[in-house]
Structure formats: C-alpha cells, structure tokens
Amino acid sequence: MANKIKKQIGQNAEMTVNDFEYTPFSQEGGLLKARELFGENLQPIIDELNGYLIA
C-alpha cells in the first residue's frame, strides 16, 4: 500500500483520506484496510506526507 500512496501523492501533489475509496486503493480494501493498517495514525501520516510536498 505504501507504494500506491507514494504514486498517488506523486500524481496529484496531495493525498486525502477520501483517496482510499478510489482505485487503486479500493481494490485492496480501501479506507477500511488503510485504517486497519495505520489505525489512528492514518490522518497524521497523510498530513506529514503532504507537508513534505509543500515544503
């Protein structure tokens, strides 16, 4: 899933929680799977990744 997140950010210059509902994430469990993998850290991780893009 990490590679898909990286690709999403590279193509769109940002990542949101809602992006997990779309392909390719939806094909691997979508938002439910992301929350299972990252738990409460999901949004902070997304925010941090997006922060690096802005910097």
- Please name the amino acid found at residue 37: L
Span 14-37, pLDDT tens digits: 889 999 999 989 999 999 999 999
More confident residue, 24 or 9: 24
The token pair at 28 is 């691997």
Predicted confidence at residue 2, as pLDDT, reads: 75
Give the model's confidence band at 40: pLDDT under 50 very low, under 70 low, under 90 confident, else very high.
Answer: very high
Place of tokens 């939806």: 26
Predicted confidence at residue 49, as pLDDT, reads: 85
pTM of the model: 0.72
Is 31 within 8 Å of 17 (Cβ atoms)? yes
- Three-class SS state of 24: coil
More confident residue, 19 or 11: 19
User: Which one-letter DSSP state was computed for residue 14?
Assistant: -
Place of tokens 């992006």: 19
